């Protein structure tokens, strides 16, 4: 077994055959983490004894003849998703030392299916960022080139999967935080539709946009984890009771009869030529697989960044009010009054980007500015959603870039927040409209960095995205096939 390249599905098949045990899988990953994490900072916390004891328990269950879809499968988890008893600090000083009191619903479901929780992955503080450079625990690096960022905010999850330190990982996606790091590191990043996976136990950033999803080495693993986590939850009123897609529809081999829209607004002149070439080559493969590709327009795309950077900070400013030094985590010393306690705790506890978002959010919600900013943004959000509704009348899925360029260099955008924000221009629209979307690695560029394409599907039609991605991946020779393709 080589945990550096095995997919979750292959690892599970090996467990079923008795080729290896969960303990062996976990030990191998722990050795890789020990050797590699110092350079990449992909994991924040790993409790080796705890991971090994979970693995041994899974092995004992298997020995007794018990079976579950993920029995003994090790997963890495972003530091903003609660796993009972493990740290859950959102890579923030304000939650330093905070331990999760219970499992997030997604985690409880994966646990019930037998998953083993390896450790906590690095992220931008409170998931605000696109490079994992805004982590209070230091930046993570891109395993394909350590001078480059792994993307963010789920950069630790993407780096761990790409570097062979995890077979698969969970992330959260509010404006692109699963898909963008997946694109930069060369993993499959899948964000289900808003309402599909419970947000209970995911530390809230922007509640109308947040969604839990996966970073994996192949499309089939994304499908597997999706079916394990999805479904209604009484603890999250935004989850839907609509039926899940048919699993066979997520595992397509061709694209006959499928119409794929290619939106012109997602191919601006500033798009990096290698990204453009990789996405257009993916369109070509779609046609070779029997799909029809159609030029479409999503005319309100140009407002997406302005809308996202009003709505997301507005919701964040409300959600982060709970970190006041009283209820969770850090409490500043020496306070002379409750107000002084709040001020000191929040001043010491939050990093610069989080403070910027809270200020932005409080500003756009304040009386006198609310109508001009927040209300206008909500109206524009509806127009963006309507664009997609119209497009999906004629198309089954949409093909677009994930990011304007391949991974950028460490430090390149940290001094210019607007440049950092613009890396979300192609991903935040799916969150604003509540759609499902997937980032699929397509090729390597001349510098040895991954290039990816994004598939966007209608809300609750995860099969449209997973099925098309499965067919493309297969056409390119399986989960690692893209590595041999050039753009």
Name the active-site residue from 177, 214, 228, 405: 177
- Of 309-328, binders to ligand GLN (CB under 6 A) are 312
Task: Name the 3-class secondary structure at 81.
Answer: strand
| Contacting residues for 59 by C-beta, under 8 A, at least 6 apart | 21, 22, 23, 72
Q: What is the largest CA-CA distance in the chain?
A: 70
- Of 182-211, binders to ligand GLN (CB under 6 A) are 205
Instruction: Residue 357: count other Cβ atoms within 10 Å of its Cβ.
Output: 26
- Of 213-242, binders to ligand GLN (CB under 6 A) are none
Among 21, 177, 223, 228, interactor with ligand GLN by CB under 6 A: 177
C-beta of 270: minimal distance to ligand GLN in Å? 18
| Contacting residues for 228 by C-beta, under 8 A, at least 6 apart | 69, 70, 109, 110, 113, 115
Are 32 and 82 in contact by the 8 Å Cβ rule? The answer is no
Is 424 near ligand GLN (CB under 6 A)?
yes
Catalytic residue flag (residue 208) = no
C-beta of 374: minimal distance to ligand GLN in Å? 16
Name the active-site residue from 131, 153, 193, 198: 153
Nearer to ligand GLN, 128 or 400 (CB): 128
DSSP letter string, 439-478: EEEEEE-TTS-EEEEEEEE-TT-HHHHHHHHHHHHHHTTS
Give the binding range for ligand GLN (CB under 6 A) out of 30-38, 123-131, 286-294, 453-461: 123-131
| Residue 352 to residue 329: CA distance in whole angstroms | 18
Among 22, 37, 105, 174, interactor with ligand GLN by CB under 6 A: 174
C-beta of 214: minimal distance to ligand GLN in Å? 14
| Residue 392 to residue 398: CA distance in whole angstroms | 8
Are 399 and 286 in contact by the 8 Å Cβ rule? The answer is yes
Task: Name the 3-class secondary structure at 76.
Answer: strand
Catalytic residue flag (residue 264) = no
Are 225 and 9 in contact by the 8 Å Cβ rule? The answer is no
C-beta of 159: minimal distance to ligand GLN in Å? 16
C-beta of 143: minimal distance to ligand GLN in Å? 20
Is 139 near ligand GLN (CB under 6 A)?
no
Query: Would you give the binding string for ligand GLN spanning residues 383-422, x where CB under 6 A is met?
Result: ----------------------------------------
Give the binding range for ligand GLN (CB under 6 A) out of 124-132, 232-240, 404-412, 463-471: 124-132
Nearer to ligand GLN, 86 or 203 (CB): 203
Is 130 near ligand GLN (CB under 6 A)?
yes
Catalytic residue flag (residue 177) = yes
Give the binding range for ligand GLN (CB under 6 A) out of 43-51, 106-114, 128-136, 162-170: 128-136
Residue written as tokens 């060369």? 186
C-beta of 199: minimal distance to ligand GLN in Å? 12
Closest residue to ligand GLN in the complex (CB): 177
Locate 452 and state its tokens.
Answer: 């990816």
DSSP letter string, 394-423: H-SEEEEESSSSSPPBTTSSTT-HHHHHGG
Among 36, 119, 129, 231, interactor with ligand GLN by CB under 6 A: 129
Is 92 near ligand GLN (CB under 6 A)?
no
| Residue 426 to residue 403: CA distance in whole angstroms | 6
C-beta of 422: minimal distance to ligand GLN in Å? 10
| Residue 475 to residue 126: CA distance in whole angstroms | 38
- Torsion of Cα atoms, 276 then 278 then 284 then 285, to 10°: -150
Q: Could you list the residues that contact ligand GLN (CB under 6 A)?
A: 127-130, 153, 172-177, 205, 312, 424
**Which residues have a catalytic role annotated?**
78, 153, 177
């Amino acid at each position: 077994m080589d945990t550096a390249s095995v997919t979750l599905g292959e690892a599970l098949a090996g467990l079923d055959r008795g080729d290896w045990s969960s303990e062996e899988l976990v030990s191998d990953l722990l050795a890789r983490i020990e050797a590699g994490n110092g350079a990449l900072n992909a994991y924040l916390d790993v409790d080796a004894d705890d991971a090994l004891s979970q693995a041994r328990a899974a092995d004992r269950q298997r020995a007794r003849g018990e079976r579950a879809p993920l029995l003994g499968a090790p997963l890495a988890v972003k530091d903003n998703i609660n796993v009972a008893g493990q740290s859950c600090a959102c890579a923030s000083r304000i939650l330093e030392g905070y331990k999760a009191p219970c499992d997030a619903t997604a985690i409880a479901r994966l646990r019930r299916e037998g998953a083993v929780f390896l450790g906590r992955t690095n992220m931008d503080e409170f998931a605000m960022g696109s490079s994992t450079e805004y982590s209070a625990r230091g930046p993570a690096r891109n395993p394909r080139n350590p001078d480059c960022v792994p993307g963010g905010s789920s950069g630790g999850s993407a780096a761990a999967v790409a570097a062979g330190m995890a077979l698969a990982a969970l992330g959260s996606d509010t404006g692109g935080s699963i898909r963008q790091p997946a694109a930069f590191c060369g993993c499959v990043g899948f964000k289900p539709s808003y309402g599909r996976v419970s947000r209970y136990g995911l530390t809230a950033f922007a509640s109308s946009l947040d969604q839990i999803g996966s970073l994996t080495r192949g499309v089939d693993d994304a499908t597997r984890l999706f079916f394990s986590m999805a479904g209604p939850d009484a603890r999250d009123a935004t989850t839907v009771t609509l039926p899940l897609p048919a699993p066979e529809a997520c595992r397509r081999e061709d694209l006959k009869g499928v119409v794929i829209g290619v939106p012109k607004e997602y191919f601006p002149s500033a798009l990096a030529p290698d990204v453009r070439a990789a996405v257009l080559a993916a369109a070509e493969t779609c046609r070779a697989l029997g799909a029809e590709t159609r030029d479409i327009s999503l005319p309100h795309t140009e407002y997406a960044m302005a809308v996202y950077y009003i709505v997301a900070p507005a919701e964040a400013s409300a959600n982060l009010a709970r970190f006041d030094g009283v209820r969770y985590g850090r409490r500043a010393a020496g306070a002379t009054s409750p107000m002084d306690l709040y001020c000191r705790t929040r001043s010491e506890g939050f990093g610069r980007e989080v403070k910027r978002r809270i200020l932005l959010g409080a500003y756009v919600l304040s009386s006198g500015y609310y109508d001009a900013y927040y209300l206008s943004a909500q109206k524009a959000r509806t127009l963006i959603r309507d664009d997609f509704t119209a497009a999906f009348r004629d198309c089954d899925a949409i093909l677009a870039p994930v990011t304007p360029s391949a991974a950028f260099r460490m430090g390149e955008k940290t001094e210019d927040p607007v440049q950092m924000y613009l890396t979300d221009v192609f991903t935040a629209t799916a969150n604003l409209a509540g759609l499902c979307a997937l980032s699929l690695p397509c090729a390597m560029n001349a510098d040895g960095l991954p290039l990816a394409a994004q598939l966007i599907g209608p809300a609750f039609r995860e099969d449209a995205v997973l099925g098309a991605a499965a067919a493309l991946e297969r056409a390119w020779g399986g989960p690692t096939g893209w590595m041999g393709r050039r753009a």
